[in-house]
Structure 1
């Protein structure tokens, strides 16, 4: 299961669930989707700050995304972007359905991935997930002759995570990449339209963050770089991704900090400076607040 922390918003917005990174654990989770009597009808509407997919090999039940109730058909593939609102669930929503959910962060794709903020210009496999908001998850259809292959691929990913045999980390990463290649191919036409028409502002915002996160960077500076007001930028990015600009800046810095802690012996203060925190104490407090432990403890757990 995904370990998350809940971030309540105001009364007009659903809560956002953030991935709780656990030292030494891969940021990938696979779960079966079907009839769940444990859901009592009061399960709240919510969004995630991480991407995922929901794949159904057989018809049955409904999926609530945004303001829509969608009847599940065989081959349905829902691409759940950070910020996509999932509706309040009911215990009989997925009666008769047989599916899988796969959730992950960009960390799981390896050290060369440009951060969990989904900088899709440099990692095209993640582009289908750069949307989000009240419109709900993108719905694609897996062709009938490919459905058994999709099921087998997700089951193999699930088995690797459960059994943790030697080399399972590499196997998980490989299975996940193949899944995302499949998503990217199915979404090709939709993605082209989004790239050309729907999200040029997000593209610019994340490009600025990717280039400038190692240095001091504020909301006002990002807004100036994309030539809109800070207030408009805040509302737009929050609406489309479920996070603020400052939260995305911090997350990008934390992705790099985790990598440097795990694979280098640099002092914590040096790592903080490299990811945009000239004050070592502030870096340690921010890291601890988001991860539940100090940078030193994180390094020790991953040693």
Structure 2
């Protein structure tokens, strides 16, 4: 997995997009803390994919949005796509030790909604739907469960690094159990997250989720939610850092990857199934976002047993 920095627009924070590597699982686990390979020393930014930051020990600070939080043992930060993480410094996590887990919805199987705000109805993903304006959700892992959390993330990391036989199934199982734990911790404090603090965005993403397999334009989405295209454009970009059309394309590419990896459908048929009936345009769009043609992507993923 690579996180690719996209060009900044004006004073907006940097944005990082998941760059899928052919054949790789869309899951990563990294150490967090002073001296770790991933020590948080970078600019203010957001991701287009969800993540968790779990800390076994206290120490240092985590910056998200405009807040600076002292890290306590058992802290669990639920980072939604679009959440802004503040500019970090190398000594922010001195004395702290923890893990970051990042993934895409693809990791949870082919029936997982691909549009972010459609996740509010998913039993494992609803904690990641809280809107970029609120900052990362902070939960607390009970003392008696912390050793179990550490063991689970370490096991996930080992499977990803060692890749023994059956590691894909093991990674899926470990990630699912982690997200079950998150959803249970969030149940008492999230409240109305399933309805989302951003009802307009939730409605927009519902339209995308239902209608991405057919031709779908900004004007059609705007008409479906009864606002002007201009208002919709500014609202979605402000809240998520992407345009409506970029979200439509992202949803289509999620489904395209699933079909390429899991079926033998011709490339043109896959394009039609994801709302892009022009096979050439589908191939160009896929290649621009993935750095390779759909045919090559399929070959890599079939070779890697996905």
TM-score band, normalised by the shorter chain?
over 0.9
Shift of 1:92: 0.4
- Change in 2 beyond 3 A, CA 1:104/1:120: same
Query: RMSD between aligned alpha carbons?
Result: 1.9
Partner deviation per Cα, 1:73-103 (whole Å, 9 max, x = no partner): 1111000000011111111000000100000
Q: Aligned pair 1:271/2:270, yes or no?
A: yes
Q: Aligned pair 1:62/2:61, yes or no?
A: yes
**SS of aligned partner of 2:55:** strand
- Change in 2 beyond 3 A, CA 1:151/1:108: same
Partner deviation per Cα, 1:246-266 (whole Å, 9 max, x = no partner): 111111111111111112222
Q: Aligned pair 1:108/2:107, yes or no?
A: yes
1:65–1:135 Cα contact (<8 Å) kept: no
Unpaired stretches in structure 1, ≥5 consecutive residues: none
Moved more, 198-207 or 231-240: 231-240
Partner deviation per Cα, 1:6-59 (whole Å, 9 max, x = no partner): 112322101110000011100000000001488999721110000000000110
Alignment of 1:1-303 (within 5 A): 2-36=1-35, 43-115=42-114, 117=116, 119-196=118-195, 198-303=197-302
Unpaired stretches in structure 2, ≥5 consecutive residues: none
Aligned residues: 302
Partner deviation per Cα, 1:86-121 (whole Å, 9 max, x = no partner): 111111000000100000000011122122535225
1:8 and 1:134 map into 2 onto residues whose CA distance is: 21
TM-score (normalizing by structure 1): 0.94
**SS of aligned partner of 1:16:** strand
**SS of aligned partner of 1:86:** coil
**SS of aligned partner of 1:250:** helix
1:105–1:116 Cα contact (<8 Å) kept: no
2:39–2:93 Cα contact (<8 Å) kept: no
1:37–1:92 Cα contact (<8 Å) kept: no
- Change in 2 beyond 3 A, CA 1:236/1:188: farther
Moved more, 44-53 or 129-138: 129-138
Shift of 1:149: 1.1
**SS of aligned partner of 1:288:** helix
Partner deviation per Cα, 1:259-299 (whole Å, 9 max, x = no partner): 11112222111111111111111111110010000011111
